[in-house]
Amino acid sequence: MTLFPVILPVAEAGHELSGKEKVARLSSIAREALRLSAEKSGVILRELLKDEDDVPCPFDGNYWSLSHKPKCVTAVVSEEKIGIDIEEMKPRAEAIFSLVASDEEWELGKDKCWDTFFRYWTAKEATLKAHGIGIGGLKACQVIWVPDDNHIVLDYRGRLFQVEQTYYRNHIVSVLKDDNEVQWIIAEDFSYC
């Protein structure tokens, strides 16, 4: 199966919004990315519901996941449980390194730097989202192999998961791929206000 994760830039108009208005706007744009992913996948998008834990509910046997940051959003539809995550790559307090990975995991990456940090963070988030688990599960999700600059293999509860990653406008996007092909759709000319 081929996955079609969509990445959309967020137009600068509206960047001044805050709180609920900002989240609603970004959510709306992310749902447009989801619509584009569904269209490319040949899936008719239905009403998008979440359960009491805010986990996306499948529709017609299709799973969905989305993620948004102020400058970019991403989304994907799949016939299998799916997770996607996007983060802007900008330094934070270094104390967060120990919250995301163990010393053994850091040794698998090129080095303990912000690029590796965001690769691990988004890969774990994508995997956990597919299982309806929040960031509290980061330590239970272990990086076990970093084969190249665009893939990470993780162990979560004794099962291996493969994540594919791409970069866009100083952001990193991770999607749970497993044995699927991934065809990234980056809509540079898309303008959603």
Pairing of strands 181-182, 2-3: parallel
Is residue 191 very low, low, confident or very high in pLDDT (cuts 50, 70, 90)? low
Structural tokens at position 81:
């449980």
Structural tokens at position 130:
């597919």
| C-alpha closest to that of 165 among 126, 109, 112, 107 | 126
User: CA distances (Å), 191 to each of 5, 29, 72, 111, in order?
Assistant: 18, 10, 11, 37
Q: What pLDDT, in 10s, does the model give residues 41-79?
A: 999 999 999 999 889 999 999 999 999 999 999 999 999
Q: What is the pLDDT of residue 135?
A: 79
Structural tokens at position 135:
């960031």
Show Cβ contacts of residue 128 under 8 Å, excluding neighbours closer than 6 positions. 83, 134, 135, 137, 138, 141, 156
Q: Is 56 left (phi over 0), alpha (psi -120 to 50) or beta?
A: beta
Query: Domain boundaries in the chain?
Result: 2-186
Q: What is the pLDDT of residue 177?
A: 96
Task: Output the CATH code of domain 2-186.
Answer: 3.90.470.20
The DSSP bridge partners found for residue 171 are 88, 168
Q: What pLDDT, in 10s, does the model give residues 111-136?
A: 889 999 999 999 999 999 999 987 77
Instruction: Compute how many other C-beta atoms are within 10 angstroms of the C-beta atom of residue 172.
Output: 20
Q: What is the mean pLDDT of residues 19-42?
A: 92
* pLDDT at residue 156 greater than cutoff 90: yes
**Residue type, position 126, single letter:** A
Mean pLDDT of the chain: 91
Q: What is the Cα Rg of the chain in Å?
A: 16
Task: Supply the pTM of this predicted model.
Answer: 0.93
| C-alpha closest to that of 176 among 162, 189, 155, 158 | 162
Q: What is the pLDDT of residue 193?
A: 45
